[in-house]
């Protein structure tokens, strides 16, 4: 990303402006109808605006180049923004559960449900379209902020759909207590959405292993594996915004010159980058193989320094490449 001129930043700014208009429309509808369900939707929209503001700032900050104080860049701020968004959503959801429960004991008459139906329908369609656009842009630019904000807006669209159904049911049956049930239900859903976002943000801040991503890299590496790559272990991926940082140990033939080892490391880097299709920085520690133990898993058939015959294929599973020691040592320990 490159600051305010980047398409992702401009898209987020457009969505934020549209969300402000939807907030005004929803609160006007609540003022006219006195519906707790509509109020719950309006309160969540305030959370949308605040979260969108955090997201916009984080996109700008994450796009800044590395500097002396931030040698890995500023991408981690996206996880902070996602966490704040999750907290805001949780607070909004809890507030709406409380408001819906309170009005079971202190009911408030409803009015102009037709206006509420119309506003909620338009808002739901708008949020769905904006959410889909943000998720698409986030996946294209590898931005957790855009994906999180997009999924939040799409979940808001589903709550709007449920809200329309609830208001229609109230209008048809005349049972106004349904409004409180809808508000409490949506409040619970909102809390669930916020917890999911908070969980994902915490995982990113704490550098939790993204096992599906590692498994994807491993599956694609299988197709480009070279016999010279004797062993791979201690494989780790850390996310910094759109950039991935990968640490691993790659075992190479012990007799390779520094020039040959460097060429194999570069080839391995190119293979990983091709697998991921996004900015990636690798820190590869090159290990020499250890004959004769390493020979038992080495597939380099033309090695003139082989001390023992090839015995078995390594099961290059997720569990295997995450282990901290070379596989021939693990086999010896087993």
- Domains contained in the chain, number: 2
Domain stop point among 185, 205, 225: 205
Summarize pLDDT for 190-214 with one digit per residue, the tens: 788 788 878 877 777 776 667 777 8
Q: What is the mean pLDDT of residues 9-23?
A: 81
Contacts of 285 (CB under 8 A, 6+ apart): 234, 247, 248, 249, 250
Domain co-membership, 30 together with 71:
yes
User: CA distances (Å), 244 to each of 70, 156, 210, 212, in order?
Assistant: 15, 30, 11, 14
Summarize pLDDT for 218-234 with one digit per residue, the tens: 887 878 888 899 888 88
Which CATH number goes with the domain that contains 307?
A: 3.30.70.1350
Instruction: Give the up-direction half-sphere exposure of residue 57: CA atoms within 13 A in the CB hemisphere.
Output: 12
Higher pLDDT, 109 or 202: 202
Domain co-membership, 255 together with 292:
yes
Q: Is the pTM of this model over 0.85?
A: no
Higher pLDDT, 128 or 40: 128
As a whole-number percent, the residues of the chain with pLDDT over 70 amount to: 84
Domain stop point among 190, 205, 220: 205
Question: CB 105: neighbour CB atoms within 10 A?
Answer: 7
Domain co-membership, 218 together with 180:
no
Domain co-membership, 89 together with 138:
yes
Q: What is the DSSP string of 187-242?
A: HHHHHHHHHHHHHHHHHHHTT---HHHHHHHHHHHHTT--TT--EEEEEEEEEETT
Domain co-membership, 136 together with 274:
no
Domain residues for 248?
Answer: 211-333
Q: Are 177 and 143 in contact (CB under 8 A)?
A: no
Q: Which range is least confidently modeled, 31-35, 74-78, 177-181?
A: 74-78
Instruction: Name 280's bridge partners.
Output: 244
pLDDT at residue 47 greater than cutoff 80 = no
φ and ψ at residue 10, rounded to 5 degrees? -65, -35
Tokens of 29: 């509808």
Domain co-membership, 199 together with 218:
no
Rounded CA gap, 21 and 89, in Å?
19
Domain co-membership, 114 together with 128:
yes
User: CA distances (Å), 50 to each of 16, 19, 84, in order?
Assistant: 9, 10, 9
Rounded CA gap, 234 and 282, in Å?
13
| Host H or E run for residue 34 | none
Question: CB 173: neighbour CB atoms within 10 A?
Answer: 9
pLDDT at residue 334 greater than cutoff 60 = no
φ and ψ at residue 281, rounded to 5 degrees? -125, 125
Domain co-membership, 49 together with 98:
yes
Rounded CA gap, 76 and 243, in Å?
10
Residue entry with tokens 């701020």: 77
Question: CB 65: neighbour CB atoms within 10 A?
Answer: 9
pLDDT at residue 255 greater than cutoff 90 = yes
Task: Tell me the Ramachandran region of residue 28: left when phi exceeds 0, alpha when psi lies from -120 to 50, beta otherwise.
Answer: alpha
Tokens of 30: 């609540």
pLDDT value of residue 1: 45
Domain co-membership, 243 together with 300:
yes
Domain stop point among 175, 205, 235: 205
Angle at the Cα of 138 from the Cα atoms of 15 and 20, rounded to 5 degrees: 15
Q: Are 296 and 312 in contact (CB under 8 A)?
A: yes
Which CATH number goes with the domain that contains 7?
A: 1.20.1510.10
Domain co-membership, 183 together with 242:
no
Rounded CA gap, 86 and 80, in Å?
10
pLDDT at residue 2 greater than cutoff 50 = no
Domain co-membership, 201 together with 216:
no
Q: Are 229 and 64 in contact (CB under 8 A)?
A: no
Residue entry with tokens 């807006």: 153
Question: CB 206: neighbour CB atoms within 10 A?
Answer: 8
Rounded CA gap, 219 and 275, in Å?
9
Q: Would you place residue 4 in the very low, low, confident or very high pLDDT band (cuts 50, 70, 90)?
A: low
Domain co-membership, 126 together with 103:
yes
């Amino acid at each position: 990303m490159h600051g305010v001129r980047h398409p992702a930043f401009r898209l987020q700014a457009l969505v934020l402006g549209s969300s402000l208009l939807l907030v005004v429309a929803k609160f006007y509808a609540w003022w006219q109808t006195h519906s707790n369900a509509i109020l719950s939707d309006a309160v969540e929209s305030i959370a949308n605006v605040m979260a969108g503001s955090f997201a916009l700032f984080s996109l700008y900050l994450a796009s800044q180049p590395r500097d002396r104080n931030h040698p890995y860049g500023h991408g981690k701020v996206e996880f902070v923004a996602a966490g704040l968004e999750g907290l805001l959503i949780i607070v909004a959801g809890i507030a709406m559960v409380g408001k819906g429960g309170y009005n079971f004991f202190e009911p408030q008459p409803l009015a102009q449900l037709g206006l509420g139906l119309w506003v909620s329908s338009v808002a739901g369609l708008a949020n769905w379209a904006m959410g889909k656009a943000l998720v698409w842009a986030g996946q294209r630019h590898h931005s957790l902020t855009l994906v999180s904000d997009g999924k939040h807006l799409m979940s808001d669209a589903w709550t709007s759909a449920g809200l329309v159904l609830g208001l229609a049911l109230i209008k048809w049956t005349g049972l106004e207590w349904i409004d409180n049930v809808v508000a409490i239900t949506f409040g619970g859903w909102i809390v669930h959405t916020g917890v999911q976002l908070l969980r994902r943000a915490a995982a990113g801040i704490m550098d939790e292993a993204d096992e599906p991503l590692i498994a994807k890299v491993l599956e694609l590496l299988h197709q480009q594996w070279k016999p010279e790559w004797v062993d791979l272990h201690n494989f780790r991926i850390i996310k910094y915004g759109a950039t991935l940082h990968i640490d691993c140990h790659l075992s190479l033939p012990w007799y390779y010159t520094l020039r040959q080892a460097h060429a194999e490391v570069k080839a391995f880097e190119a293979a990983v980058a091709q697998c991921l299709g996004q900015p990636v920085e690798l820190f590869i520690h090159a290990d020499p193989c250890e004959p004769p133990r390493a020979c038992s898993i080495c597939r380099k058939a033309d090695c003139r320094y082989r001390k023992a015959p090839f015995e078995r294929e390594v099961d290059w599973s997720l569990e295997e490449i995450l282990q901290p020691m070379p596989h021939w040592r693990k086999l010896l320990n087993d």
